[in-house]
Amino acid sequence: MQVGIVGCGKMGKMLRVFLEKAGLRVYLCSGERSSLQKLWRISDIIILATSLKEIKNTLEEILKIAMMEPRKVLVMDIATFKSDLFPIYSHFPDEVEVASIHPMFGVGVRDLKGQLFLVVPIEGRERGAESAANFIKALDGEIQFVESAEHDRLIGFTVGVPYFIGLSYLSFSIERALGKYGGTSHKFLTLYGKFVLNDSPEFIREVLYRSRKEIDEFISFLQKREETSVFEKISEKISIKDIKEAYERLCSIL
């Protein structure tokens, strides 16, 4: 099987390493028209791993090529937010299978075994999602299907809100010079804030912008609840074993 990856950033390069280790032949290109045409003709699967800013235009270019040279190919993206892409997928020829996936991990993982991928079916083109899921399972990844209408909202909560918390506390801590007084909790939150800054400024701004409704909902959630009632409800739902394991893992990181 031959896999073409469009995008030479961190995720594209990481996927190339893992797929080659799995015995697949992988081709990496930056997204120029001539390179996309060549990739189209030789690939069984094409994965779009370009930036959020570029990925819509890249998918549109691949659509143009597909319309001129329809063939059996699985096309899928790994974009963080996907609402702009779904209308484009619907125009691909029937010979082409299309799907959208979201690796819920970043660079730094050792392999794909047990790593979670969200698989988002394209309405009317669900066969592509099944093919994408089978591809991920063959790599020992875990899958979770998510409806297209729900994906971006869920990512707003699971990515955007944590980014907001980490960056907000880091900024708060710096402005008030809290570092010399902070213990384990402070170290963890500031470490996470710095971890977020490893992403490009453009990506961080895009995540926070697209997650603004979910961030506002989270802030409203905090304002409506008393600290003690939140603590009691959480304690009832999490086992002592899980709490102790979390404490040990966090201390080992710090």
Tens digit of each residue's pLDDT (9 = 90 or more) over 38-76:
999 999 999 999 988 899 999 999 999 999 999 999 999
Measured distance CA(39)–CA(45) in Å, rounded: 9
pLDDT score of 106: 84
Which phi and psi angles does 190 have, rounded to 5°? -70, -35
Banded pLDDT at 227 (limits 50, 70, 90): low
Task: With CA atoms as reference, report the closest residue to 136 among 119, 158, 154.
Answer: 119
pLDDT score of 130: 97
DSSP state of 122: P
Banded pLDDT at 149 (limits 50, 70, 90): confident
Pick the CATH number of 2-146 from 3.40.50.720, 3.40.50.150, 3.60.110.10, 3.40.50.620: 3.40.50.720
Measured distance CA(207)–CA(80) in Å, rounded: 8
**Span 83-118, pLDDT tens digits:** 999 999 999 999 999 999 999 998 889 999 999 999
pLDDT score of 226: 67
Measured distance CA(179)–CA(172) in Å, rounded: 11
**Span 181-216, pLDDT tens digits:** 999 999 999 999 999 999 999 999 999 999 999 999
Kindly give, in sequence order, each residue whose CB lies less than 8 Å from that of residue 33, ignoring residues fewer than 6 positions away: 61
